[in-house]
Structures are given as C-alpha cells and as structure tokens.
C-alpha cells in the first residue's frame, strides 16, 4: 500500500512514474507497487488549469507584505486557486492549544489572512482554507490537552506522536468530544475568522489514522470521517452555495484503505500519486491532480505531470508550492541533521525569512516550467529554454546563461532533494544524514564529486557576466562552495576511497 509518507520520502516523480506511466518520467529505481491500469479520459482542449497548495502554518516568519508579493507571483503564473493550509495558523479563541506551538506565527500574532484573501481576489485568485480532520497541524495538539481523545492503532496501543512541525497525536473520531472539537474548530476558522474565503480543502489523512478500538479499521475510519465532511460541507454550502470544497477520494474508492460512500457532485476531488484512481476520476464533476514535482524535481518532470493531467482530462494541475521557515524540533522524515535548525525557504540560506522566495531565479525555473507547459504541454525543449532565459535574464540571455541556470537548478534540486533542504550534492549536511542512514551508494558519491568538479567553471562564468541578473546566481555558487568546506570534502573523499 502506497502512502503519502512513501511519496514524500522517495519523491513524487519517482513513485508516480511507476504508478502512472507514462505520466512522469521515472526516477531512481525503488520498490513500488505494480502500475495501475491506464483508463482513457478525454484530453482537454484548453490550457491546463493551475492551482497551488501551501502549508501556510509551516511558514511562520512571513508577514502580509510578503504574502501579497507571493500572490503577485502566482498571478503572473496564471494560478487560479491557492490553498492556504490554516490548521494551527490562526488564533483560535475556543481552542488556544491548537496554535500555542505556533505562537510566533505572524498570522497568529497579526491575523492578516482575511486581508490577504481580499487582496488575492483582486488578482482573480480564489483562496481555500486547508486542514485535516482529526489529525495534523493544530488539530493534533488537542490530545495534549485531552489525552482521553487519542486515537488507537490497529495493535490496540494509543497513537504515537508524529507530524510535520506540529507534532502531536491523532484523535479518535468515534468519541463525541473529538467530533465536537473538530466541527467547532473548522466552523470557527471558516465562519468566524475568514468568511471571505472561497471554500475549503478537507485533506483526509492516511498516516497513523485511528484503526484500532471502535474505529474498526481504515474503512470504518473513513466512514466516520465522512460524516464530518458531509455535515461541514452542508453547513458551508448553506452559507455560500458557490463555495468550492475539495476532498480526497478515500471516501469513495473502497479497497483496503478507503470506503464506498455517496459522492456529491458539488465536491471537487483532488488526486495524488498515492490516491490516484482514473476510473473514479472520470465520474467526478471536477478532478484535480497534486504532486511535489514543482518543489523537488527538474522541469522535465513538471512537463510530464502537466502532460499527464492534460491527456487525462483533469480540470487542474494542483502541485505543492510549499516552503518552510519553522525551527525543526524533530527529525522530520528521519532527517536528524535538521533538529534545532532554522529552515530556510527552499533550503537557500540567503533568502530572507520574510521574503518572497519565488523571485529567486533557481526557484523560478519550475515556475516558468509550470506556466509555459500549462499553456502548451508539447512545448519543445528549445522553446522552453528560450522562454526561461527571457524570464530569468531578459532579452540578452545567452544559451550558456540558461545552461548554467539549469546546471544550478539540477545541483540544488537533484540527487534526493528533501522537502526541507537542498539536494545532497548542494548540502553536505544532507549527505551526512543520508550516509548515516545508508541511503547513498558509490554511484551517488561519484556523481556528487563530478558536479563539484564542474562548479568552479560555472561560478567563474557567472561572476564575469555583464548581465546583473546572471551575476545574481553567484549567491547560489557561493552558498554551495561555503557548504562544502574542507571537512565535508574530506568526508566525501574518505568514502570514495572505499570504492
């Protein structure tokens, strides 16, 4: 059974490539389930719709001005919908335990999201509020105050602590007080705090959900969770019949990790590499597709995902655009090197914690890929490079400028980039972590050395460029060279001597 944790760990393109061939070009070989059968859907004749997903709660350092600038960037990219994952990121009056861990979040302090939603509307962007029933950010803090509401695992033991940034405990939805809390928390967020929002993303979970005790396994759990989704949806649509509510397919697809419940055509269904079901996608009124390629993969993977979405008639490609600026108190996804570290936007130390990171030229490579391929999924490589050069460097961009930019993008995004840090070849702290966990082989280490050997010539070309936009890339080469101090290089050399 594939879970979102597998995709986060392996990388969405690698796993989705195996699940959805030829949806995304395959990455490194991994043990994955057999491919799902292809079920033809009608290709769309229109440009691919664009949405984006942000875990707003895990970006505590950005204020309103920066978020307005981010909305400007999304508008430039033709994004129509933005999900702001709000659990744990608003100052709930009824349940202050939900934001206490995140007390320094700028929105918890200043409550500016209502104004941000109004600003997004001026850019023709709809804003939906995201959260997960009975678990994840904010919600999983409630059991710290009410441990009697902890979920049970299938083995009968109580839920273990887990999460991302917000580490806590999943709730048992069979308990009346857990049900009441979840409804009251969601109502407060949508009706009391941000009634100008355009709808909700109700993100069902598949990580450590309550399967023991009265939950009675995954199927029954999703039946119980569906009761919450049904009730809240009806309340939201009574308030605003035009509100969009995005849900996951777990309630409708059956199987070992889902239920078979009635689908309301007013729901939009969002699929992902771990939940995709093309047969069901054909039947829903509006289907979106989510993955992690824009924040973790080369532009060719973004193109492949856009093509797949287009060929299968999905209404929108809805990738993650998230970055993180919290202080990691836990080994997120096992990365012990992160504990105690201030996470930086997309792993770049020179991007300020209260700055729009999408303006960075390396980050912008996949922005351009999403924008251009969404309009024309069959855009040639030459045309993409020409448009990328013009977007990054202006009309005087040369082929060499674009090649160097793509080299740096691959340097920072390739080789096992995690959600939280740069790729191992750009960040030797990540290399140490992967070596300690036995996740790198000699081929990986030789590739790192080869890229490091090529870096000085690229750095010199960038430094000598007459184009200031090209010279800006020297901050990326300086960061990589600073990361690779003598100790890091000695560690790499010592392991290669074993080869």
Question: How many residues are there in the chain?
Answer: 499
Could you give phi then psi for residue 204, rounded to 5 degrees? Answer: -65, 150
Distance CA 96, CA 496 (A): 52
Residue 414 pLDDT: 83
Stretch 430-457: mean pLDDT: 92
Asked whether the beta carbons of 187 and 116 are under 8 A apart, the reply is no
Distance CA 483, CA 445 (A): 16
Residue of 219, 248, 6, 267 lying closest to 133 (CA atoms): 248
Residue 208 pLDDT: 85
Domain identity same for 189 and 295: yes
Tokens of 149: 């509401």
User: 């054909």: which residue's tokens?
Assistant: 282
Banded pLDDT at 4 (limits 50, 70, 90): low
Residue 39 pLDDT: 34
Residue 140 in any domain: the answer is: yes
Tokens of 404: 């160097």
Banded pLDDT at 258 (limits 50, 70, 90): confident
Distance CA 445, CA 184 (A): 52
278, 280, 283, 284: CA torsion to nearest 10: -100
Domain identity same for 391 and 291: no
Residue 47 pLDDT: 75
Domain identity same for 408 and 283: no
Stretch 447-471: mean pLDDT: 96
What Å distances lie between residue 312 and 16, 86, 274, 288, 418, CA to CA? Answer: 15, 31, 17, 11, 28
Residue 253 scores a pLDDT above 70: yes
Question: How many domains in the chain?
Answer: 2
Per-residue pLDDT reduced to its tens digit, 172-218: 999 999 999 999 999 999 999 999 999 999 999 888 899 999 999 99
Q: What is the pTM of this model?
A: 0.90
Tokens of 368: 């351009």
CATH number, domain of 165, equals 3.20.20.80
Instruction: With H, G, I as helix, E, B as strand and everything else as coil, classify residue 270.
Output: strand
Banded pLDDT at 41 (limits 50, 70, 90): very low
Distance CA 143, CA 122 (A): 39
Asked whether the beta carbons of 246 and 6 are under 8 A apart, the reply is no
First to last CA, the chain: 35
CB-facing half-sphere around the CA of 223: CA atoms within 13 A: 13
H/E segment holding residue 202: strand 199-202
Q: Where are the beta strands (DSSP E) in 277-428?
A: 287-289, 316-317
Instruction: With H, G, I as helix, E, B as strand and everything else as coil, classify residue 131.
Output: strand
Tokens of 399: 């082929």
Banded pLDDT at 77 (limits 50, 70, 90): very high
Residue 19 in any domain: the answer is: no
Domain identity same for 322 and 396: no
Residue 437 in any domain: the answer is: yes
Stretch 464-483: mean pLDDT: 96
Residue 17 in any domain: the answer is: no
Percent of the chain, pLDDT > 70? 90
Rounded to the nearest 5 degrees, what angle is found at the Cα of 142, between the Cα atoms of 141 and 146?
A: 130
Residue 118 pLDDT: 98
The neighbouring-strand residues paired with 327 are 342
Residue 27 in any domain: the answer is: no
Residue 497 pLDDT: 87
Stretch 97-122: mean pLDDT: 98
Within 10 angstroms of residue 165's Cβ, the number of other Cβ atoms is 22
Per-residue pLDDT reduced to its tens digit, 326-359: 999 999 988 888 999 999 999 999 999 999 999 9
Per-residue pLDDT reduced to its tens digit, 295-304: 999 999 999 9
Residue 10 pLDDT: 46
Residue 23 pLDDT: 32
Asked whether the beta carbons of 94 and 174 are under 8 A apart, the reply is no
Residue 59 scores a pLDDT above 50: yes
> Pick from 320, 346, 372: which residue ends a domain?
346
Tokens of 158: 């109580």
Tokens of 109: 């302090």
Domain identity same for 333 and 413: no
Per-residue pLDDT reduced to its tens digit, 124-149: 999 999 999 999 999 999 999 999 99
Higher pLDDT, 35 or 220: 220
User: Do the bridges between strand 166-168 and strand 162-164 make them parallel or antiparallel, or are there none, so unpaired?
Assistant: antiparallel
Per-residue pLDDT reduced to its tens digit, 371-383: 999 999 999 999 9
Residue 466 in any domain: the answer is: yes
Domain identity same for 314 and 391: no
Domain identity same for 458 and 322: no
Residue 444 in any domain: the answer is: yes
Domain identity same for 413 and 478: yes
Domain identity same for 73 and 176: yes
Residue 212 in any domain: the answer is: yes
Domain identity same for 408 and 282: no
Residue 447 scores a pLDDT above 80: yes
Could you give phi then psi for residue 118, rounded to 5 degrees? Answer: -60, -40
Q: What average pLDDT does the structure give for the chain?
A: 90
Distance of CA 268 to the CA centre of its chain: 19
Please give the residue range of the domain that contains residue 138.
6-11+44-346
Q: Burial letters for 348-367: b for 16+ Cβ neighbours within 10 Å, e otherwise?
A: beebeeebbbbebbbbbbbb
Distance CA 397, CA 24 (A): 29
Domain identity same for 417 and 320: no
Domain identity same for 427 and 482: yes
**DSSP secondary structure string for all residues of 425-474:** TT-HHHHHHHHHTT---HHHHHHHHHHHHHHHHHHHHHHH-S-HHHHTTH
Asked whether the beta carbons of 269 and 247 are under 8 A apart, the reply is yes
**DSSP secondary structure string for all residues of 5-52:** HHHHHH-HHHHHHHHSTTSS---S----PPPPPP---PPPSSPPEEEE
Check residue 123 and report its DSSP letter. Answer: T
């Amino acid at each position: 059974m594939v879970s979102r944790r597998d995709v986060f760990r392996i990388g969405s393109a690698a796993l989705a490539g195996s699940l959805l061939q030829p949806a995304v070009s395959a990455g490194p070989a991994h043990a994955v389930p057999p491919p799902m059968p292809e079920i033809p859907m009608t290709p769309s004749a229109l440009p691919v719709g664009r949405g984006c997903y942000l875990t707003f709660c895990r970006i505590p350092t950005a204020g309103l001005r920066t978020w307005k600038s981010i909305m400007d960037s999304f508008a430039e990219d033709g994004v129509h919908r933005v999900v702001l994952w709000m659990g744990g990121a608003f100052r709930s009056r009824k349940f202050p335990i939900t934001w206490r861990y995140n007390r320094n979040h700028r929105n918890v302090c200043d409550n500016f999201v209502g104004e941000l939603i109004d600003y997004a509307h001026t850019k023709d962007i709809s804003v939906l509020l995201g959260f997960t029933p009975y678990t994840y950010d904010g919600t999983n803090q409630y059991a710290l105050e009410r441990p009697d509401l902890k979920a049970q695992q299938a083995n009968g033991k109580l839920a273990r602590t887990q999460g991302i940034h917000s580490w806590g405990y999943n709730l048992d939805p069979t308990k009346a007080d857990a049900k009441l809390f979840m409804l009251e928390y969601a109502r407060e967020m949508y009706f009391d705090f941000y009634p100008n929002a355009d709808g909700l993303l109700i993100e069902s979970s598949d990580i450590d959900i309550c399967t023991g005790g009265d939950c009675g396994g995954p199927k029954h759990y999703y039946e119980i969770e569906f009761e919450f989704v049904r009730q809240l949806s009806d309340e939201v649509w009574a308030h605003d019949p035009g509100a969009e509510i995005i849900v996951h397919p777990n309630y409708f697809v059956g199987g070992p990790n889902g239920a078979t419940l009635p689908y309301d055509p007013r729901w939009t269904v969002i699929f992902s590499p771990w939940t995709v079901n093309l047969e069901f996608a054909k039947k829903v009124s509006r289907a979106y597709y989510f993955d992690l390629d824009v924040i973790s993969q080369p532009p060719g993977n973004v193109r492949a995902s856009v093509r797949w979405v287009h060929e299968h008639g999905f209404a929108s490609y809805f990738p993650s655009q998230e970055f993180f600026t919290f202080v990691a108190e836990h080994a997120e996804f096992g990365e012990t090197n992160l504990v105690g570290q201030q996470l930086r936007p997309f792993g770049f130390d020179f991007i300020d914690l209260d700055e729009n990171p999408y303006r960075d030229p390396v980050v912008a490579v996949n922005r351009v890929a999403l924008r251009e391929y969404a309009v024309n999924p069959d855009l040639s490589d030459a045309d993409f490079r020409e448009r990328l050069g013009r977007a990054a460097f202006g009309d005087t961009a040369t082929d060499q400028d674009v090649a160097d930019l793509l080299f740096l993008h691959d340097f920072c995004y390739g080789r096992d980039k995690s959600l939280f840090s740069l790729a191992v070849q750009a960040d030797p702290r990540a290399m140490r972590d992967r070596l300690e966990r036995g996740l790198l082989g000699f081929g990986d280490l030789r590739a790192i050395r080869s890229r490091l050997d090529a870096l000085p010539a690229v750095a010199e070309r960038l430094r000598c460029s007459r184009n200031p936009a090209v010279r800006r890339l020297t901050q990326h080469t300086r960061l990589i060279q600073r990361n690779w101090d003598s100790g890091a290089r000695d560690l790499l050399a010592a392991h290669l001597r074993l080869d």
